[in-house]
Amino acid sequence: MEADSVGGIAPAVLVTLRHGEKVLAAHGLMLYKEHQVQVHRRTMKSLGVSRTHLMGMHALGDSEESYFFAEFEGPGHVSFSRDKGGEVRVLQLAPGQTIRLRDGHLICFDESVRYYPMVLAQYQSPVPDANGQRATTYLFADELTGPGTIVYQSYGNILSFNLQPGEAMRTSVAGLLACANTVGLRIDWLASPAMASTGPVPLPVLDITGPGMVLVHSGT
Amino acid sequence: MGGVPVEVGSAETGGRGRELGAGPLHRVVPPFCGREPKKRSDSTTDVGEPKTVELECLAGLVPTVLATLGPQESIYCEHGIMLFKDPPVGVSRKTIQGGGLLQTLERTTVGGIPYYLTEFTGPGHVGLSRDGTGEVRILELAANQTVDVAEGSLVCADAHIQYGMEYVKGTHRPGRMVGVWLDRLTGPGKIAVHGYGNIISMTLAPREVIHIDLGGLLWKDSGVAAKTANLPFGGGFLGKLEALEVLELTGPGQVAIQSIDPKAPHF
């Protein structure tokens, strides 16, 4: 498939499909399509994602993973938009190359790309709630493995880093947009008496260790 | 159709206007209005006597339309979108004709069409903003030329423009029991429309069909037929239940699409 970013404020993606070519996108992202482009439902099972795995992820928290994808089959043009401001990137994945993209940012991908939703990291609140429970937060991601083309959108601008082996960086939990599967992730906590008038407020951050690509976005 | 719309102030023309006649489908109009914001003159000396209402787009992330009105010249817009105005500019109410009490209640409570419009009469300047990130296009309609603008997208129109409404029936499936309302505007005169996000313009050939998201339409020629449709995801009850709801547009004519659905949270 051929994908182009269109516009600068809330960019859309214009995908050009040849005869028989297919692109998969989350339900409801389509902006427009030509009449001859066919629409089908593509179940997660057909992509190798079991229903148990998907339901398990939904049971963990606010996972935005869909139960199925919309599959568009060429020939023709189809356009997608996430209705948000930011940047759209088109990434060509080499065979075996894997990227983990935070949920809610994937726009569309080639049929040849292997898709698998996963839990990227999880952390427990250091402060118990009124019931004495420590809530667990899960960071969900879409794991995408090449070969093929994927298109994703950031909220705000994208900052790209390529970490060397052992090189480390720290981001906010919401700031991480995507990373390679070779990158190590660990949740850490920042707490400072100056962070709030009522006392230390622990702030979760992500410690990221190379090697691999890391994408951070400026909006959340 | 009475003619082709003339887009005023695009980057391609340096603000001189450009005919949007025949052209490739998927030709994308560059983002932003392209013209540098004109310095606003002192209203006490710059009332002049322009022969037509002057509409100018002040480009930016959240664009504004600056209307320069001569004596007794008027524009109308939806109530509540005024950003500023000169003191000499008069304000009055313009009632909307069409339909009885029930139809009025339906389009104002279920749809987003206002009860009445606000009319500004010169001399002076009026600034209008839709409070949304996007682009503004200024269209000059020829006599009897009609365009349909999505509800909530019209910024303002010359008082000579005839105002009406067009209703596209919904698919009557759960979640889409009602349809889509459009502002029907007939020239001659200028109108300003606000597209949320970026605007994608295209020309449909006769009988050419495209499917667009229900919130994606910005404006279309009245000659472009519109109807809602369900695109089933496979067969059976489940396929119909999960069907994709779209607006089916059939040419010939101009269509402009916006990349943000105004009803979706986009800030």
Nearest CA-CA distance, residue B256 and chain A, Å: 11
**Distance to chain A for B234, nearest Cα, Å:** 6
Cα separation, B34 vs B40, whole angstroms = 17
The DSSP 8-state label assigned to residue B216 in this structure reads T
Query: DSSP for B93-112?
Result: EEEPP-S-HHHHHIIIIIS-
Of B208, B216, B233, the CB nearest to A39: B233
pLDDT at B33: 38
The phi and psi torsions of B238 (rounded to 5 degrees) equal -65, -40
The shortest C-alpha distance from A155 to chain B (Å) reads 10
Per-residue DSSP letter, A45: G
Residue A219 has a pLDDT of: 77
Determine the 3-state secondary structure of B238 from DSSP. helix
Of the candidates B119, B158, B164, which has an alpha carbon nearest to the alpha carbon of residue B141? B158
Look at residues B112, B203, B192, B189 and name the one whose alpha carbon lies nearest to residue B156: B192
Q: What is the largest CA-CA distance in chain A?
A: 63
- How far, in Å, are A123, B86, B129 from residue B83 at the CA level? 46, 11, 6
Contact A176, A214 (CB under 8 A): yes
pLDDT at B23: 34
Q: Does B136 touch chain A (CB under 8 A)?
A: no
8 Å CB contact between A23 and A108: yes
Q: Domain boundaries in chain A? A: 2-217
Question: pLDDT value at position B52?
Answer: 67
Q: How far is CA B251 from CA B219, B221, B223, in A?
A: 13, 9, 7
3-state secondary structure of B193: strand
Identity of the residue in A6, A34, A39 whose CB atom sits nearest the CB atom of B200: A6
Asked if A14's CB is within 8 angstroms of B26's CB, the reply is yes
Letter for the amino acid at A50?
A: S
**In this structure, are residues A165 and A205 in contact, taking their beta carbons and an 8 Å threshold?**
no
Chain A interface residues (partner B, CB cutoff 8 A):
6-12, 14, 27-28, 30-35, 39-41, 68, 70, 77, 79, 81, 83-85
pLDDT the model gives residue A41 = 87
Half-sphere CA count of A8, side-chain side, radius 13 A: 10
CATH class of A2-217: alpha beta
pLDDT value of position B6: 41
Gap from B16 CA to chain A (nearest CA, Å): 22
Under 8 Å between Cβ of B159 and B117 = no
State which H helix or E strand residue B237 sits in: helix B236-241
Each of the 267 residues of chain B gets a pLDDT tens digit; together they read 333 444 433 333 333 333 333 333 333 333 333 333 344 444 333 444 445 689 999 988 889 999 999 999 999 998 889 999 999 999 999 887 766 777 777 667 766 677 788 999 989 999 999 988 899 999 999 999 999 999 889 999 999 999 888 889 888 776 666 788 899 999 899 999 999 999 999 999 999 999 999 889 999 999 999 999 988 877 777 777 777 889 999 999 999 999 998 877 655
Tell which residue, A214, A121, A102, A97, has the closest CA to residue A163: A214
For chain A, percent of residues with pLDDT exceeding 70: 93
Q: Which of A14, A39, A68 lies at the smallest CB-CB distance from B231?
A: A39
Q: What is the pLDDT of residues A91-115, one digit of tens each?
A: 999 999 999 999 989 999 999 999 9
Closest to A79 in 3D by CA, of B200, B196, B171:
B200
Any idea which residue has 């994908």 for tokens? A3
Asked if B210 and A32 come within 8 Å (Cβ–Cβ), the reply is yes
Per-residue tens of pLDDT for chain A, all 220 residues = 899 988 878 899 999 999 999 999 988 899 999 999 999 889 888 999 988 888 888 888 766 667 789 999 989 999 999 988 889 999 999 999 999 999 989 999 999 999 999 999 998 887 777 888 888 889 999 999 999 999 999 988 899 999 999 999 999 898 999 999 999 999 988 765 555 555 556 778 899 998 999 999 987 6
What pLDDT sits at residue B156? 95
Determine the residue of chain B that is closest to A16 in CA distance. Answer: B26
CB contact at 8 A, B140 and B17: yes
CB A171 within 8 A of CB A216: yes
